[in-house]
Copies of this chain bind each other. A is one copy, B any other.
Amino acid sequence: MIAELIAVGTELLLGNIANTDAQILSQGLSALGITVHHHTVVGDNPQRLREALETAAKRSDIILTTGGLGPTYDDLTKQTICETFGRDLELHEDILEEIRTWFQTKMGKPMPANNVQQAMLPVGCTVFDNPVGTAPGCAFLERGVHVLMLPGPPFECRYMFENRAVPYLKALTKGAIVSHEIKIFGMGESAVEEALHEPMTTLANPTLAPYAKLNECMVRATARADTAEEAEAMLRPLVDRVLKTLGDVVYGVDVGSLEEVVSRLLLERSLTLSAAESCTGGLIAKRLTDLPGASRVFRGGVVSYTNSVKAGVLGVPEALLEEYGAVSEPVARAMAEGCRKICGSDLAVSVTGVAGPDRDDRGSEVGTIYIALAAPEGTICKKLSCGRGRGRDRVRSAAAQNAFDMLRRSLLGLPL
């Protein structure tokens, strides 16, 4: 089955926001084994939306629209789709009641009159009720094409896709599609492709496909079968083969981010962590505290962006700073040890390096990074060169990613 995405919103054409909905939906459709051939963005303009729908109906089996389901005069998606496909809109009293309740309980005010428009839906459609916003979505089949409408705000779009559109689409595809994501750090996408070239290029079912992400990559194995159990049985040897081929650069299967894996390992071992950050400037702490419940494993840390904070707060000896400079192994070690002591954590990680754009005052190259890990049994330190020539952001994110991987390897007893 071929799907196509149409996003509706002048704010996308003005560059006000990026079309992240298209990324969310594309990932999800790919995981369902549905191929996407086109993304289109049009403004809040019924004529151009109608043309885009006519074109899409000729070449695709499934059309997913995002946006234009709001209550204002420029929200024209439902009306235009109904005109294009020859359907009428009708009022759904139960949906209207849900929207009224949402305003009362979530917004603490009565529903404005123009929100009634949101309860108008195509005759005979499958209603996608929206518990995370006011705009319901819907779907219908007309002219052999499935048309699905989802709200535009990314949070709502993701929820409605995963919880409403995915079950609808799964019912369209015969049998079961199951996929597993193998997450990788420390091996580039092209090296992964080379190592798995044969299964990636020859297998038809199950399939194996690589995905590059910022500072890491991922391989997705997908199988179709009559039942989920059969699909799982087809996937098991393939996933095992990937794990065996790639070894310990795989940090997890069907897991979240590297920091999520580290947090889980810490929790399982009842260990706490703190972080002393120089060039990453709070990025490690920020990423750990992005996770709900972070306080169970992360005690906090120090952003020692200047030498006086390294010395005064972390207790790095002034003599070390003078002799070796801030970007050095002895200082990285002293930062981690000092942080562990003052934060009272079981482990402490430290990062010091040159994020750029310029070399440091001792001439260390941009991208030179020292990462240290202090533990009850002693302190280890690693020197890296990362993200060079790709800008300050990349150096910093690569440094943080390497720090998390050092923690993962240390907690699992893997070679560093």
Distance between Cα atoms of A255 and B13 in the complex (Å): 23
12 residue pairs A–B, Cβ–Cβ below 8 Å: A11-B212, A13-B36, A16-B212, A18-B18, A155-B391, A274-B309, A281-B288, A282-B286, A283-B286, A295-B306, A300-B306, A309-B342
Is the CB of A410 closer than 8 A to any CB of chain B? Answer: no
* CB contact list, A282-312 vs B, under 8 A: 282-286, 288-290, 292, 294-295, 298-306, 308-309, 312
Nearest chain-B residue to A18 (Cβ)? B23
Does A39 reach chain B (CB closer than 8 Å)?
yes
Interface membership of chain A positions 46-65, coded 1 if the CB is closer than 8 angstroms to chain B and 0 otherwise: 00100010010000000000
A393 CB–B CB distance under 8 Å: yes
Q: What is the chain B residue whose CB lies nearest that of A52?
A: B38
**Is the CB–CB distance between A294 and B282 below 8 Å?**
no
Interface check A227, CB cutoff 8 A: no
Identify which of residues 33-85 in chain A touch chain B, using a CB-to-CB cut-off of 8 Å: 36-43, 45, 48, 52, 55
Decide yes or no whether A28 CB sits under 8 A from chain B. yes
Neighbouring B residues of A317 by C-beta, 8 Å: none
Complex contact B37–A15 (CB within 8 A):
no
Size range of the chain A interface in the assembly: 35 or more
A346 to chain B, nearest CB (A): 13
Residue in B27, B274, B280, B301 whose beta carbon sits within 8 Å of that of A15 in the complex:
B27
Tell whether A398 is near chain B: CB-to-CB under 8 Å. Answer: no
**Which one of B38, B52, B342, B357 contacts A292 once the chains associate, using CB atoms below 8 Å?**
B357
Query: Is A275 engaged at the interface, CB distance under 8 Å to the other chain?
Result: yes
Known: A12-B26, A280-B286. 6 other contacts (CB 8 A): A11-B212, A15-B23, A37-B43, A289-B303, A301-B305, A309-B342
Hey, which chain B residues are within 8 Å of A41, CB to CB?
22, 38-40
**Minimum C-beta distance from A366 to chain B (A):** 11
Instruction: Say yes or no: is A25 at the interface (Cβ < 8 Å to chain B).
Output: yes
Residues of B within 8 Å of A18, CB to CB, are 18-20, 22-23
Say yes or no: B281 contacts A343, CB within 8 Å: no
Interface centre among A19, A28, A280, A300 (most CB of B within 10 A): A300
Question: In the complex, what residues of B have CB within 8 A of residue A289's CB?
Answer: 279-282, 303, 305, 355, 396
Report how far A285 CA is from B36 CA in the complex, Å: 40
Other-chain contact of A14, B11, B30, B55 (Cβ < 8 Å) = B30
A305 in contact with B299 given A155-B391, A281-B289 (CB within 8 Å):
yes
Chain B residues within an 8 Å CB radius of A301: 282, 302-303, 305, 309
CB pair B16 A211 closer than 8 Å: yes
Q: Counting CB contacts under 8 A, is A225 at the interface?
A: no
Would A42 and B48 count as touching, CB distance under 8 A? no
Q: Is A313 part of the binding interface, using a Cβ–Cβ cutoff of 8 Å?
A: yes
- Do B282 and A312 touch (CB < 8 A)? no
